[in-house]
A and B are shown apart, each in its own frame.
Chain A
Amino acid sequence: MMLLFMFACSSESKKRSEQRKFGFPEKPDETDWPTSFGFGEEADEALIKKWNISIAPDGKGLPAGRGSAEQGAPIYQAKCASCHGPKGWDGPFDQLVINDAAKAKTIGNYWPYATTVFDYIRRAMPYNAPGSLSNEEVYQLTAFLLYANGIVDQHEEVNAETLPKIEMPARKLFVPDDRKGGREVR
């Protein structure tokens, strides 16, 4: 019985096994795949809206709201200064504000896009209470940090229209990856 079964098996798979050489492929063989497997469901607008917090450098995705440095200063002192320092360069964690005495990478000398400041604060800050700030507060803090770095004025309004237009000092320094393998050290 067993022998018969094995015989049947081997004759059936003979054709395929003769062609196959086993290596270490980096993707599966898709030859016999259908156009669609039909797994998963369509995601409705409401779900996408709930999860989509992306902000593009051209401002796409920025919510309604506005803020100035003046409004952001007290929020910064209450919610950010314990980690980043009252001045933005004198805290135990990442330095955010340019200080001539140090060569640290800050928003003022290293961040190439102002939209990133809003996006990052909204998604991940404060460290001990991520996602707890309102869009209005995030605009105010963004304005404050840009002001502290000498990029906007104290009373300047920052909103979805103005933020992507702000020119960041470090932008011109950024270049794409130029490494290509081979002997050249880059």
Chain B
Amino acid sequence: MLGGAAALGLVLVQDSFGKVVQEAKPLFDVPKDPTKILGVPPGSLGTRSPFEQPQKIPSITSSRTPLQQLFGTITPSDLHFERNHGGVPLIDPEKYELVIHGMVKKPMRFTLQDLKRFPSFTRICFIECSGNFRTGKAELTPQEICGLTSQSEWTGVMLSTIFREVGVDPKATWFLAEGNDAAVMTRSIPIEKAYEDAMLVYAQNGEALRPEQGYPLRLLLPGWEGNTQIKWIRRIELADQPFMTREETSKYSENIAGGKIRQFSFLMDARSMITFPSYPLQIQKGWVEIRGIAWSGRGKITAVEVSTDEGKSWQTAALQEPVLSKAHTAFRLLWHWNGKPTVIMSRAIDESGYYQPSYKELVLARESKGGYHFNPITAWEIKNDGSVWLVNDRS
């Protein structure tokens, strides 16, 4: 929308009085008529249009996907969110090895080449950090509210295929997954997930994994909180109990009703987010296609309902097919805005019959105002002038 401005950069120039001021200048030359000048020849790597500058928002521990700038459901790999606990390691794929041991018939080591020789599998699913909720002011974008979710097409080998190869002891009930990063990140995973749909993936959107997503190999646990999907995985240990690592006890656990702390809450509950219109856009009276994404760790999204009258009534949005299990699903609803102030919002419903709750419902149920696994309905206030603002749940 602000494409032209993206081509501008601020430079220091002298004004007519000799004073140094900042001025916007084009960063590249834009021909008046592209049909009258020879274009750029084919290259060895593709590029983004210089008018398009989508950016993640980094902090010291994470960086967030610009959900409001994306189309469809696949996150471009360089815009996939990041969350790491000791930086991104540099790992030589030639020296890489995965060790599997513990309660197995035969402890084994696999090179990356070994793992790529096994029957491969490809699926599309989201990965979402379970600490993916922000509120507290009206000036927040979808990226700032819940940009710690992204979706890719992943390719690798089913973990069950590798477990067959090592011969898992039938008494094993958990496995530990450990990363090869500076945090040597570890999580204990119930073994059922290995046989349900867990994968060891080496590719993302048609190419090798990005380092930020776990190059050369990561664990993929479709629908589960991102932290469990150990990146740069180097070791798997089969056991008959969880290891109670720091990330599954003091972190990634949440306060719930009665002063209790909920642990091993792996599954990501259903959520939706209207990405258009959203802060800081300004819409015009007339037809507006409300757009967004919805997803659930329990399976497929079965419906997304949208309200354009502050939640008094709800309409069923159209879902973009194919609707995939444990995947970002695009929705849209055509709406005619009459120019009067209102609030719009969406709620996701999944195949378990789960209804995405409001912030108030979550607070009431958990006796907690935030924390991990907070997935409330996001509402956008539309003012007289068409400006869009987040409805601040904590106001």
Contact = CB atoms under 8 A, between A and B. Distances in A.
Interface stretch (A20-28, A64-72, A133-141): A20-28
A26 B220 CA distance: 12
A41 B100 CA distance: 11
A174 B248 CA distance: 11
Nearest to A53: B184
Give the secondary structure class of B's interface. Answer: mixed
Contact of B250 (A55, A57, A105): A105
B23 to A, nearest CB: 38
Nearest to A168: B249
B324 interface: yes
Given A112-B249, A173-B261, A179 B267 contact: yes
B193 interface: no
Contacts of A173: 259-261
A176 B108 contact: no
B183 A130 contact: yes
Contact of B261 (A27, A30, A175, A181): A175
B174 to A, nearest CB: 10
Given A47-B109, A177-B265, A116 B353 contact: no
Interface residues of A, number: 53
A57 B260 contact: no
A37 B365 contact: no
A166 interface: no
A148 to B, nearest CB: 16
Interface in A152-186: 170, 173-183, 185-186
Given A111-B250, A116-B249, A40 B86 contact: no
B99 A51 contact: yes
Given A131-B184, A175-B262, A176-B263, A37 B117 contact: yes
A142 interface: no
Contacts of B256: 175, 186
A175 B253 CA distance: 10
Contacts of B158: 27-28
A52 B263 contact: no
A51 B160 contact: no
Contacts of A77: none
A30 to B, nearest CB: 8
Contacts of B269: 179, 181
Given A43-B107, A185-B357, A185-B362, A26 B222 contact: yes
B350 interface: yes
A97 B331 CA distance: 47
Interface stretch (B13-21, B236-244, B277-285): B236-244
A79 B235 CA distance: 28
Interface residues of B, number: 71
A160 B234 CA distance: 26
Contacts of A130: 86, 182-184
B184 A123 contact: yes
B106 A110 contact: no
Contacts, number: 165
Contact of A51 (B197, B235, B265, B354): B235
A56 B186 CA distance: 12
B322 interface: yes
A183 B353 contact: yes
A119, A173, A178: most-surrounded residue (chain B CB, <10 A): A173
B178, B262, B264, B350: most-surrounded residue (chain A CB, <10 A): B262
A37 B118 contact: yes
A40 B237 CA distance: 16
A50 B263 CA distance: 30
B33 interface: no
Interface in B90-116: 99-101, 106-111, 114-115
Nearest to A61: B243
Nearest 5 A-B pairs (CB), nearest first?
A181-B352, A120-B246, A40-B110, A123-B184, A177-B265
Interface of B: 85-86, 99-101, 106-111, 114-115, 117-121, 123, 158, 160-161, 164-165, 176, 178, 182-184, 186, 197, 222, 234-235, 237, 239, 241-246, 249-250, 253, 256, 259-267, 269, 298, 322, 324-325, 350, 352-355, 357, 361-362, 364-366
16 contacts: A40-B108, A42-B106, A51-B234, A52-B237, A56-B241, A107-B250, A110-B261, A112-B244, A113-B249, A130-B86, A130-B182, A130-B184, A175-B256, A175-B263, A176-B262, A181-B352
Given A28-B161, A111-B249, A179-B269, 19 more contacts: A26-B123, A27-B197, A39-B110, A40-B109, A43-B101, A43-B107, A47-B99, A48-B101, A51-B234, A57-B242, A112-B261, A116-B250, A123-B184, A123-B186, A124-B184, A174-B260, A175-B256, A181-B269, A183-B353
